[in-house]
Chain A
């Protein structure tokens, strides 16, 4: 029976085909049958995790910390030099120029990505605003968040930095960045379930050597990763502690 792999639903859609190619490569090189399941949202993904259906996951830091702490998942690798950052953006013609301009009742468009929402709420601190001071509109993806901004239906948007950079110039030029996080130490992580405890070292070595050849680099490029760095238990525990500290 095939093992189940998934990726946190905050992935950029343009990398979706690349993840299927990655899975094919992984199965061939690791010698295990793996089914890649793509969930349509965080709720269904978390349900599968709660049901212990997931064996391998490329998780956002928020989910990674829950998996490491509550489900005993084991860290394998993380993308090199690719920290997760978030952006607070406004319409290019907005009168808002800095965070301190934001007032209680400010209308925010966002997805239900907990990591981006957490980082952006932290960045609202200088305006003395918390989650209860803003009016959220939740959208399925960041393109719809951008459209809310362009149509002036909200005052600001919370957007994953990597996705903002991938928006078309036509859309991006109608927006303005108020603030971009520079946290540097939060990143996605490749994790496996405790059932794979005896496979962690081998999988880690395989992934960390992936960028050594052109074929591996090509597959990595198509999922937006340059190479993998090994994740240690200590690093994973630091990430869990850090996420715990950041959750307001």
Chain B
């Protein structure tokens, strides 16, 4: 996963930050104060291996994330991690799905161009012969009320 560059922002102005992930990896990112609306009627679908490495995407995921399919497949799912999302939210997600349980939540995602989009996400562990072999996630358009509610809540958890 490379550092973001100013060229990624497509002419927008962004705030430079350093983001450190759960495994200690850090990269430079830019945050653009621009929300991209979730397209009506679409669902973002992706699958990862048990370690969270993306193995499957759909076209809606490519469009919304701003990354190409080639850039997404093989990458850690936390490439989408927005610094406005508290670590405790992701801990809750991983604690839940690693036990083989479905998880739902509202997530703010960082796009390749530094902008963001909100989703209502569902993540399900894929279990074969009693073993977790990966995770499937579907993201749908959230309600504005929940986005505002969760946005305010997440600020208190950072």
Contact = CB atoms under 8 A, between A and B. Distances in A.
Nearest to B59: A184
Contact of A125 (B102, B123, B143): B143
A180 B41 contact: yes
Interface residues of A, number: 22
B101 to A, nearest CB: 12
A245 B122 contact: yes
B45 interface: yes
A122 B140 contact: yes
A128 interface: yes
A245 B136 contact: yes
A126 interface: yes
Interface string B36-48: 0001111101010
A238 interface: yes
B138 A245 contact: yes
Interface in B99-158: 102, 120, 122-124, 126, 128, 136-138, 140-146
Contacts of B42: 181-183
A125 B158 CA distance: 27
Contacts of B120: 125
Interface residues of B, number: 28
B140 A182 contact: no
A79 to B, nearest CB: 18
Contacts of A242: 45, 136, 138
Interface of B: 39-43, 45, 47, 56, 58-60, 102, 120, 122-124, 126, 128, 136-138, 140-146
Given A128-B145, A183-B42, A184-B59, 12 more contacts: A123-B41, A125-B120, A125-B140, A125-B143, A127-B143, A180-B41, A181-B41, A182-B39, A184-B60, A237-B126, A244-B124, A245-B122
28 contacts: A99-B40, A100-B143, A123-B41, A125-B140, A125-B142, A126-B141, A126-B142, A128-B146, A179-B41, A181-B41, A181-B43, A182-B42, A182-B60, A183-B41, A185-B45, A238-B47, A238-B56, A238-B136, A241-B47, A241-B126, A242-B136, A244-B124, A245-B102, A245-B122, A245-B124, A245-B137, A246-B43, A246-B138
